[in-house]
Structure formats: structure tokens, C-alpha cells
Amino acid sequence: MTRHRQIAALVVLVILAAIIAFPMRSFVYYYVMAPLSFIWFYLVYYYHVVPQQFYWIFLLLAAAYFALGGLLENPFKRERLQLIRTSQKGPVDGLAARLKDSRLGVYSRWRVARALGILAVEILELRGSYSGRVKTLKGRDWNPPPGVQDYLEAGLNNSFADFPLSRKKTPFSIDVEKVVNYLESQMEMNRDNNK
């Protein structure tokens, strides 16, 4: 916009404001200026009527409240904090979060394999097939598909450090859904024995 156009726009705005302001002057006087002047009058009046000592006492109490407020415990804040409850994650939520993060790296995949391996051990314990320290998962009706046994045993018996960051295929390369489906079928197979 050129300077001449800016000046012309300003002149047009001033003329429009004058045209609108002239008929609205009584409205502005009765509904804006008169109430504001009454409010201002009463504020000044009460300011002069109230003794100055009251203002100083109020100012000192407010300063003491703000100065000591950080040092003393606020009882209202404590009640509000008690009302806020943090929801704790259960084992299913924790495993779901690990499954979601399992694409991030070897450590995350190992954590999922470890959790599922522990679940497999618990399934075998319920069947009475667990003996001592786990090296291999064996038990009655335990016939996992190819790769599932290696996956579960790698989670139980190995560390994530045993599988360095590389493009090589690891036991964790199997689809986790296949492992979960197998464990789910084992849970359902002997429902009466798993109670």
C-alpha cells in the first residue's frame, strides 16, 4: 500500500467514525460515561473515607502471606492432591505398552520375549511340568510352532546384549502375534488344569 492510499484510508475511517459517533453520543453518555463516572466517584470517596492505617495493615498482611506462603504447607493444596489419583498400570497394560514399543529396538523386543517367556513358564508350572531353573521349555502338550520355542527361550535364558545391533536374523524376528496366539491356545487347551 502506498503512502497516499494509507492517508486516504485514514481520512475515510475518521469520517466514518465521526458520522457514527454523532448519533451515538447520547447512548455513549447515558450507558457508558455516566455509570463509569459514578463508579469513579464512589471509588475516590471510599478511598478517602477509609483510614490509611487500614491500607497499610492490608498491604503488610498480603506481603506476609506471599512471603510465608511458600514456606508453609497449604491445606487446600493437600486436599486437591489427594483427589487426583494416578492410575497404575496392570500387567496387561504393561505388556501392551511393551508390545507397542517392541519395534524400537533389540532391548524392547527382548523385554516382550522375556515377559512372554515368563508367562510360558507359569503355564507349564500350572501343568506341573516345571523343574528348577529354566533352560528349555518342555511339558505335557507343549508343541510350539517353529520359531516360537526359540523366541521364548531366548527371552528367558539370554540377555538383550547377546543380540547386538545388526541386520542378522535373531530369535526375536518372529511375529509376536504368533507367539501370543500359541500361548493363548495353551491357556485354553487345559482350562480345568490351569485353575
Where are the chain's structural domains? 3-83, 91-189
Measuring CA to CA, which residue among 182, 186, 179 is closest to residue 102? 179
Q: Rounded to whole angstroms, how far apart are CA atoms 195 and 190?
A: 9
Measuring CA to CA, which residue among 31, 54, 171, 57 is closest to residue 106? 171
- Which spans in the chain are helix H? 3-28, 34-49, 52-69, 75-83, 91-101, 106-126, 148-157, 176-189
pLDDT in tens, 28-77: 888 989 999 999 999 999 888 989 899 899 999 999 888 887 676 665 55
pLDDT in tens, 85-138: 555 666 666 666 666 666 667 777 778 888 888 888 888 887 776 655 556 777
Q: Classify residue 36 by burial, with Cβ atoms within 10 Å: 0-12, 13-18, 19+.
A: exposed
Instruction: State whether the Cα torsion 132-138-140-141 is positive or negative.
Output: positive
**What is the band of 194 on the pLDDT scale with cuts at 50, 70, 90?**
very low
Q: Rounded to whole angstroms, how far apart are CA atoms 102 and 110?
A: 8
Instruction: State whether the Cα torsion 73-75-77-80 is positive or negative.
Output: positive
- Close Cβ partners of 142 (under 8 Å, ≥ 6 residues apart): 124, 129, 186
Mean of the pLDDT values across residues 167-180? 76
